[in-house]
Amino acid sequence: MEPRRAPRTVIDPKVRQVGFFAPGAPPERAVSGPPAPIASSSSSSPPVSDLSPSLSPVMIPPPRHSSADNALLPSSSSSRPVPASPLRQDSLTPASGRRYSKPSEFFPAMSLTASSSYAGRMVGNAEFSDDLRGNMVTVVPAASSFPSGGFDLTAVKASSVPASGLTTVSVVKMMPPVYDPETIVEKVGGSVEVQNDRPESSKPLKEKTSKAERRALQEAQRAAKAAAKAEGSKVPASSGAVMGANAKPTKATKSHSQKNDSATVAGSEKRGGDRLSEKDRKKDAPHPRMQYDDKIRVEKAKRRAVVKQTEARNRVELFRHLPQYEHGTQLPDLESKFFQLDPVHPAVYKVGLQYLSGSISGGNARCIAMLEAFREAIKDYSTPSEKTLSRDLTAKINSYVSFLIECRPLSISMGNAIRFLKSRIAKVPLTLSESEAKALLQSDIEHFINEKIILADNVIVNHAVTKIKDGDVLLTYGSSSAVEMILLHAHELGKQFRVVVVDSRPKLEGKLLLRRLVGKGLSCTYTNINAISYIMREVTQVFLGASSVLSNGTVYSRVGTACVAMVAHEFRVPVLVCCEAYKFHERVLLDSICSNELGDPDVISEVPGRDDINYLDGLTNSENLQLLNLIYDATPSDYVSMIVTDYGMVPPTSVPVIVREYRREHVWV
């Protein structure tokens, strides 16, 4: 609950900041900008004016105290020594920086990925990103040059440009303790892993040796950033390189990760609760997806989009929150752009176009194609001289992902894979050379494809085949790669059974499956989904594929799956859902409306091969007619008898357990 709400609250209340400043900080505010970070970061809690209550464990991240609270309320946090006033900021030693970094030491699990993605998300929302940047710059000068007015953001920004070398990514996470730019840089640059091996009370000298290099790096970065800023392009170093072509790349980064529903870990590291469990929970929860009925954000997202999608005209009222575009219009344009210099790696570009044209479809195929493309991109990647691999590569992957989203919304399985990749990137030890790191990441990707997809399918096949007996009549819907493998394997084992392939418009994927099965010599019956009640009486088992299995047991799959499962349930026929565990997700879903994907509406009005069905020919532009092409639906868990996964055969109620165990395995091992 909390983490889902957090980003949104952080986003909107520009207004609240104002309200806060007025009562809370009159004297100190005049001196510097530090209040600004408080306002922005704590804007989720309106009663911030009362600072000490706001220090409740839930609300206030220790790093924030360190900067703002200390400045404002010297006695607020008893546990740490408090600098008397912001004036002392510049005199703070690295030791104070270290003290501020304590909270992150409490939470070693706080990974850079998480923070960066979170940062990206925050930066992405329009109003806030401006504030944020404003705050950031105001803060930094506060330390170094003490500009008197903290609120004339643009002015301050201009003046403070040279001092702000932080990338947006790091800023969001570490923004509050901005006393000493050096310290910050150290903390940020050192990133979380490094913090762990630094004992809390260690002497500055020991760290300084390693810190020095990092600091040099950061300085270079900062210089680059400052230059970029000075040009007024507002390009954070990370995304600036990637999205150079776009007018507002900052927003790009942010809305990338925003749209990318499952790719990022919802972290409120910035606010990092005092309790590990709480923080974990927040980090685990998915953050809200882009809602396309939010006009402002959609406008913003559009401005920086690579794929210029045009909105479909006549949209269904219920689905305003989902993106729906004219199909087939932008493909030639994009193809022509293929050889132009583009921020997107050619391999990724190619995959994106394949998604767009629909030549790659199916959860596993899409996921594998994406990972292969990323592997190519990583192979060709070289870290810009002034950046760190982990952060720059994460930003690059973010931009790729956002490009892919523009081509077609990500499936949940792809989101999981991206999350995996990012956590891997974040965990690349800094000691590795670039080529080693790249090799490591490439092998990680291959490992993921092999283990989580290909091997998982084999395991599923072996499990499911045990359920097929001679004389069975197995029904399947649409075309699922896992189910197809099961059927073929059972046939190879010599089992005698018949397959009923149920199909539906508009994709008619069942026909392709039918062709392949018949080609292998299986005895098949083909029918339309409307005839499901007729055919179900002779069926003994139903095998279904899934795009994702959600943690309340809901099976999110090709539209129509729910109908098949429902009828099977009515006829007391067992329903087996075959799904690799990497497609499991901790999100919950009750209906098929809130989260779905809309396909090309025009394929609904035309029936290929049936020229007599042309009633709607002249009407597709009519205001009264809407065509709805849903791609997915949600099957309630009570229709599902069993889920066959690579961890075995489990009831739908066990999904949350698998989700938990599975993530522990791949994120922390």
Partner 1 sequence: MPDVQALVNDFLNKLKKRKIEGSRATARQTAEMLRLVISQQRSPYTNQAGTLIDAVRAVGEQLIAANPLELAVGNIVRRILHIIREEDLSLTTAAIAGLGLSAGSDDEDDTDQDIHPVLSGASLAAAARSTLRPPSLQTLLEDVPDSAAIPHTSSSGCDSEGKSKSADRSSRTWKLKHDVIEAVNELIQDIATCHEQIAEQAVEHIHQNEVILTLGSSRTVLEFLCAAKEKQRSFRVFVAEGAPRYQGHLLAKELVTRGLQTTLITDSAVFAMISRVNMVIVGAHAVMANGGVIAPVGLNMVALAAQRHAVPFVVLAGSHKLCPLYPHNPAVLLNELRSPSELLDFGEFSDCLDFGSGTSSLLHVVNPTFDYVPPKLVSLFITDTGGHNPSYMYRLIADYYSADDLVVQQRPTGN
Interface with partner 1 by CB under 8 A: which residues? 316-318, 503-506, 511, 514-515, 518, 521-535, 537, 558-560, 562-563, 566-567, 570, 591-593, 596, 604-605, 607, 609-610, 613, 615-616, 619, 622, 624-630, 633-634, 636
Cβ-based nearer residue to partner 1, 332 or 609: 609
Q: Give the bridge partners for 476, in sequence order.
A: 501, 543
Given phi > 0 = left and psi -120 to 50 = alpha, else beta, which region is 307? beta
Measured CA to CA in angstroms, residue 476 lies from 509, 561, 624 at distances of 11, 9, 36
| Cα 423 to Cα 666: distance, rounded to the nearest angstrom | 9
Of the pair 12, 538, the CB lying nearest partner 1 is at 538
Comparing CB distances to partner 1, the nearer of 274 and 602 is: 602
Residue number, 8 or 515, with CB nearest to partner 1: 515
Closest approach, Cβ 516 to partner 1, in A, equals: 12
The answer to whether the CB of 370 falls within 8 A of the CB of 402 is no
For partner 1, the closer of residues 446 and 591 by Cβ is: 591
Shorter beta-carbon distance to partner 1: residue 230 or 619:
619
Residue 508 CB, nearest approach to partner 1 (Å): 9
CA–CA dist 471, 476 (Å, integer): 16
Residue 333 burial class via C-beta count within 10 angstroms: exposed 0-12, middle 13-18, buried 19 and up: exposed
Size of the chain in residues: 669
Is residue 166 within 8 Å of 188, Cβ to Cβ? yes
Instruction: Look at the alpha carbons of 91, 96, 100, 104 in this order and tell me if their dihedral is positive or negative.
Output: positive
Cβ 632 to partner 1 shortest distance, Å = 8
CB of 372 to partner 1, least distance (A): 31
Distance CA 604, CA 558 (A): 16
Nearer to partner 1 by C-beta: 383 or 592?
Answer: 592
Quote the Cα angle for 465-467-470, to 5°.
90
Residue 593 Cβ, how far from partner 1 at the closest point, in Å?
6
Q: How far apart are CA 669 and CA 662, in angstroms?
A: 11
440: buried, middle or exposed (CB in 10 Å: 19+, 13-18, 0-12)? middle
Give the residue carrying structure tokens 């400052």: 226
DSSP 8-state code for residue 575: E
Q: How many CB atoms lie within 10 A of CB 313?
A: 12
* Nearer Cβ to partner 1 (151/526): 526
Q: Which is nearer to partner 1, 332 or 494 (CB)?
A: 494
- CB neighbour burial string for 410-430, b if at least 16 within 10 angstroms, e if fewer: bbbbbbbbbbbbbbbbbbbeb
Min dist. Cβ of residue 94 to partner 1 (A): 58
Q: How far is the CB of 563 from partner 1 (least distance, A)?
A: 5
| Residue (220 or 488) nearer to partner 1, CB | 488
SS3 assignment, position 264 = coil
Least distance to partner 1, CB of residue 131, Å: 38
Minimum separation from the CB atom of position 564 to partner 1 (A): 9
Q: For residue 207, give Cα distances in angstroms to 187, 202, 211, 274, 545.
A: 11, 8, 6, 26, 53
Rounded to the nearest whole angstrom, what is the least distance from the CB of residue 291 to partner 1 in the complex? 18
With a CB cutoff of 8 Å and minimum separation 6, the contacts of 550 are 556, 584, 585, 586, 587, 588, 589, 634, 655
Q: Given the DSSP bridges, would you call strands 648-650 and 642-645 parallel, antiparallel or unpaired?
A: antiparallel
CB 132 within 8 A of CB 257: no
**3-class SS of residue 427:** coil
Torsion of CA 377, 379, 382, 383, to 10 degrees: 80
Closest CB to partner 1 among 269 and 633?
633
Phi-psi region of 224 (alpha: psi -120 to 50; beta: other; left: phi over 0): alpha
Residue 553 CB, nearest approach to partner 1 (Å): 16
Nearer Cβ to partner 1 (277/612): 612
Backbone angles phi, psi at 491, to 5 degrees: -65, -40
Question: In this structure, are residues 602 and 327 in contact, taking their beta carbons and an 8 Å threshold?
Answer: yes
Instruction: Find the shortest distance in angstroms from Cβ 313 to partner 1.
Output: 14
Q: Which is nearer to partner 1, 479 or 645 (CB)?
A: 479
Backbone angles phi, psi at 474, to 5 degrees: -105, 130
In angstroms, give the least distance from the CB of 366 to partner 1: 20
Nearer to partner 1, 524 or 549 (CB): 524
Query: Taking the alpha carbons of 41, 42, 44, 46 in that order, is the dihedral positive or negative?
Result: negative
Q: How far is the CB of 511 from partner 1 (least distance, A)?
A: 7
